[in-house]
Amino acid sequence: MLWFLIGLAGFLGLHSVRIVAPDWREARIAAIGEKAWKGLYSLISIIFFVLMIWGYCQMRQHPVLVWQPPMALRHIGMVLVVIAFVLISAAYVPNNAIRARLGHPMILGIKTWAFAHLLMSGWLHSMLLFGAFLLWAIVDFSSARKRPRDTVAKPSAAMTLVTVIGGIAFAAIFAMYLHGMLIGVQPINMPMH
């Protein structure tokens, strides 16, 4: 559990620098340059991410069930995960109305993803991981709303449709194939031919 907590705290802590110390962050970027900052930031993020995942896998070997979610919450959670994928897609697809309206769809997507997983899993390791991400996303969204918004080109219906269809398609692919392969939990039981 220790490595998981170190990785989780480090990963989310590093991603909170802009929230708690924006002036310090800007001073570091000015001192070492944006490319060096992004490189160092990425390297440290990867190290903490690997520690978090490794520790999470260790905790899964000795699971502690805190509560058993009812089946209805699993269905609600699955719908919320699809919405999360659409929101995350909106952060990357240019000129879509979702990003223009919400401003920070990535953070809202992470918040929705974390909340959905809290509804679906009562295991301690899952509750710690998703609870921490939910708390971080709530704080980060509040902070992001205080910063100036990026200018978004006029949204188009076509790009908004691409965002929604792309998010739904990726959610389906991830749930049917990638989640089981990468995470070890198959959310949708599909017969493999």
Same domain? For 138 and 193 the reply is yes
The DSSP result for 175-191, as a single string, is IIIIHHHHHS--SS---
Question: Of 38, 62, 86, which residue constitutes the final position of a domain?
Answer: 62
Question: Of 62, 80, 114, which residue constitutes the final position of a domain?
Answer: 62
Same domain? For 137 and 175 the reply is yes
Global pTM reads 0.90
Same domain? For 75 and 48 the reply is no
Give the Å distances, CA to CA, from 50 to 12, 21, 106.
Answer: 13, 24, 21
**What does the alpha-carbon distance between residue 7 and residue 5 come to, in Å, rounded to a whole number?**
5
At 63-100, the pLDDT tens digits run 999 999 999 999 999 999 999 999 999 999 999 999 99
- Cα dihedral 84, 90, 92, 95, rounded to 10, equals 180
Same domain? For 55 and 120 the reply is no
Number of domains into which the chain is organized: 2
**Three-state SS string across 23-37, please?**
HHHHHHHHHHCHHHH
Same domain? For 132 and 182 the reply is yes
Question: pLDDT tier at 59 (50, 70, 90 boundaries)?
Answer: very high
What token pair was written down for 97? 């109305």
Question: pLDDT tier at 188 (50, 70, 90 boundaries)?
Answer: confident
Q: Which are the contacts of 59, defined by CB distance < 8 A and separation ≥ 6?
A: 1, 4, 124, 125
Note whether 76 and 91 are within 8 A (CB).
Answer: no
Same domain? For 38 and 85 the reply is no
Same domain? For 98 and 171 the reply is yes
Same domain? For 122 and 73 the reply is yes
- The single-letter DSSP state of residue 174 is I
Question: Of 23, 45, 62, which residue constitutes the final position of a domain?
Answer: 62
Same domain? For 185 and 163 the reply is yes
Q: Which among 116, 2, 119 has a CA at the least distance from the CA of 56?
A: 2
Same domain? For 16 and 103 the reply is no
* Range(s) of the domain holding residue 153: 63-193
Same domain? For 132 and 95 the reply is yes
pLDDT confidence of residue 126: 96
At 102-138, the pLDDT tens digits run 999 999 999 999 999 999 999 999 999 999 999 999 9
**What does the alpha-carbon distance between residue 80 and residue 112 come to, in Å, rounded to a whole number?**
6
Mean pLDDT of all residues belonging to the chain: 93
Question: pLDDT tier at 181 (50, 70, 90 boundaries)?
Answer: confident
Q: Which among 138, 120, 52 has a CA at the least distance from the CA of 81?
A: 120
Same domain? For 40 and 73 the reply is no
